[in-house]
Amino acid sequence: MSEKPVANKTFDARGLQCPMPILKAKKEITTLEVGQILEVLSDDAGSKEDFPRWARRTGNEFLGIFDEEDFARYFIKRLG
């Protein structure tokens, strides 16, 4: 996998269930400037499909998933 992006902000969504990680991420990403990167930590299994699709659907760029032991890091660049 490619190199881990450097995030401008990290949001810890661990412990949240669908659809809350997406809802919280939406709030977080709107606090960033266009071009900045949001990192979300999630242990919701659905996030693997949800985050890439949600990012594209909302006009942002999905930069990748980086697995940790019992959660994953999701990187989204704000474009919209």
Which one is catalytic: 10, 12, 18, 23?
18
Distance of closest approach, residue 27 Cβ to another protein, in angstroms: 8
Distance of closest approach, residue 30 Cβ to another protein, in angstroms: 10
Please name every residue paired with 75 in a beta bridge, in sequence order, or none if there are none.
39, 64
Please say if 26 is a catalytic residue. no
C-alpha distances out from residue 69 to 16, 43, 72, Å: 17, 10, 8
Residues in touch with another protein (CB under 8 A): 15-20, 22-23, 25-26, 54, 57-59, 80
Q: Which amino acids are annotated catalytic?
A: 18
